[in-house]
Structure 1
Amino acid sequence: MPADLAVIGLGHLGLPLAQAAVAAGISTIGYRTGSEAGSLTAAEQRRLLSGGFRPTDDAAELGRVRTAVICAPVPRGAGGGLDLGQLESAARALAERLRPYTTVILESPVPPGSTEQFLRPLLEAGSGLRAGRDFHLAYSPSRVDPGNRDFGAANTPKVIGGLTPACTESAAAFYGRLTDKVVRARGPREAETVQVLETNYRQVNIALVNEMAVLCHDLGVDLWDVVRCAETKPFGFEAFRPGPGVGGHAVPQDLAGPTGRTLRMVELAQQVNSRMPQYVVQRAATLLNEHGKSARGARVLLLGVTYKPDLADLQASPAREIALRLLELGASVSYHDPYVPAWSVLDRPIPRADSLYEAAADADLTILLQHHRTYDLQGLSVKAQLLLDTRGATPTGAAHRL
Structure 2
Amino acid sequence: MPADFAVIGLGPFGLPLAQAATAAAIPTVGYDTDSRVIAALRAGHLPTEGDGSLTAAGIRRMLSAGFRATTDDAELGRVRTAAICAPTRLGEDRALDLTAIGDAARALAARLRPHTTVLLESAVYPGTTEEFIRPILEDGSGLRAGRDFHLAYSPSRIDPGNRRHGFANTPKVIGGLTPACTEAAAAFYGRICEKVVRAKGLREAEAVKVLETNYRHVNIALANEMAVFCHDIGVDLWDVVRCAETKPFGFQAFRPGPGVGGHGVPLDPNYLSYKGRSLGYPLRMVELAQEINGRMPRYVIQRCAMLLNEHGKSARGARVLLLGVGYKADVGDEEGSPAREIAARLVEMGAQLSYHDPHVSQWRVLGQPVPRADCLYEAAAAADLTVLLQHHRTYDLQGLAVKAQLLLDTRGASPAGAAYRL
Provide TM-score, normalisation by structure 2: 0.93
Aligned equivalent of 1:354, options 366, 374, 398: 374
The change in CA–CA distance for 1:109 and 1:365 in structure 2 (over 3 A counts) is: same
Aligned equivalent of 1:241, options 232, 255, 258: 255
Runs of 4+ displaced beyond 6 Å: none
2:341 alignment partner in structure 1: 321
Contact conserved, 2:90 with 2:96, CA < 8 A, in 1?
yes
Give ranges in structure 2 of 5+ residues lacking alignment: 38-46
Are 2:409 and 1:389 equivalent residues in the alignment? yes
- Deviations along 1:259-311, whole A, 9 cap, x unmatched? 42321100000000000000000000000000011111111000111111112
2:268 alignment partner in structure 1: 254
Alignment root-mean-square deviation, CA: 1.2
SS of residue matched to 1:206:
helix
2:165 alignment partner in structure 1: 151
- Range that drifts further, 43-52 or 32-41: 32-41
Are 2:71 and 1:51 equivalent residues in the alignment? no
2:40 alignment partner in structure 1: none
The change in CA–CA distance for 1:33 and 1:110 in structure 2 (over 3 A counts) is: farther
* Equivalent-residue separation in structure 2 for 1:182 and 1:33 (angstroms): 30
1:57-96 to structure 2, matched below 5 A, reads: 57-96=71-110
1:7 alignment partner in structure 2: 7
1:167 alignment partner in structure 2: 181
* Equivalent-residue separation in structure 2 for 1:72 and 1:378 (angstroms): 41
- Range that drifts further, 280-289 or 77-86: 77-86
User: CA offset at residue 60 of structure 1?
Assistant: 0.6
User: CA offset at residue 356 of structure 1?
Assistant: 0.9
SS of residue matched to 2:66:
coil
Contact conserved, 1:10 with 1:33, CA < 8 A, in 2?
no
Contact conserved, 1:113 with 1:257, CA < 8 A, in 2?
no
Give ranges in structure 1 of 5+ residues lacking alignment: none
User: CA offset at residue 80 of structure 1?
Assistant: 2.4
2:42 alignment partner in structure 1: none
1:1-400 to structure 2, matched below 5 A, reads: 1-34=1-34, 38=48, 39=51, 40-256=54-270, 258=272, 259-261=277-279, 262-400=282-420
* Equivalent-residue separation in structure 2 for 1:146 and 1:356 (angstroms): 24
* Equivalent-residue separation in structure 1 for 2:266 and 2:419 (angstroms): 32
Instruction: Give the total of aligned pairs.
Output: 402
SS of residue matched to 1:281:
helix
* Identical counterparts, % of pairs: 74
User: CA offset at residue 256 of structure 1?
Assistant: 5.0
* Equivalent-residue separation in structure 1 for 2:331 and 2:64 (angstroms): 23
Provide TM-score, normalisation by structure 1: 0.98
The change in CA–CA distance for 1:58 and 1:30 in structure 2 (over 3 A counts) is: same
* Equivalent-residue separation in structure 2 for 1:193 and 1:65 (angstroms): 28
* Equivalent-residue separation in structure 2 for 1:371 and 1:257 (angstroms): 34
* Equivalent-residue separation in structure 2 for 1:284 and 1:366 (angstroms): 9
Higher relative contact order, structure no. (Cα contacts within 8 Å, ≥ 6 residues apart)? 2
* Equivalent-residue separation in structure 2 for 1:350 and 1:42 (angstroms): 25
* Equivalent-residue separation in structure 2 for 1:62 and 1:315 (angstroms): 28
The code of the aligned residue for 2:16 comes to P
SS of residue matched to 1:156:
coil
* Equivalent-residue separation in structure 1 for 2:162 and 2:146 (angstroms): 36
User: CA offset at residue 79 of structure 1?
Assistant: 2.7
The change in CA–CA distance for 1:257 and 1:184 in structure 2 (over 3 A counts) is: farther
- Deviations along 1:27-79, whole A, 9 cap, x unmatched? 00000145876533211211121121100111011000000000000112233
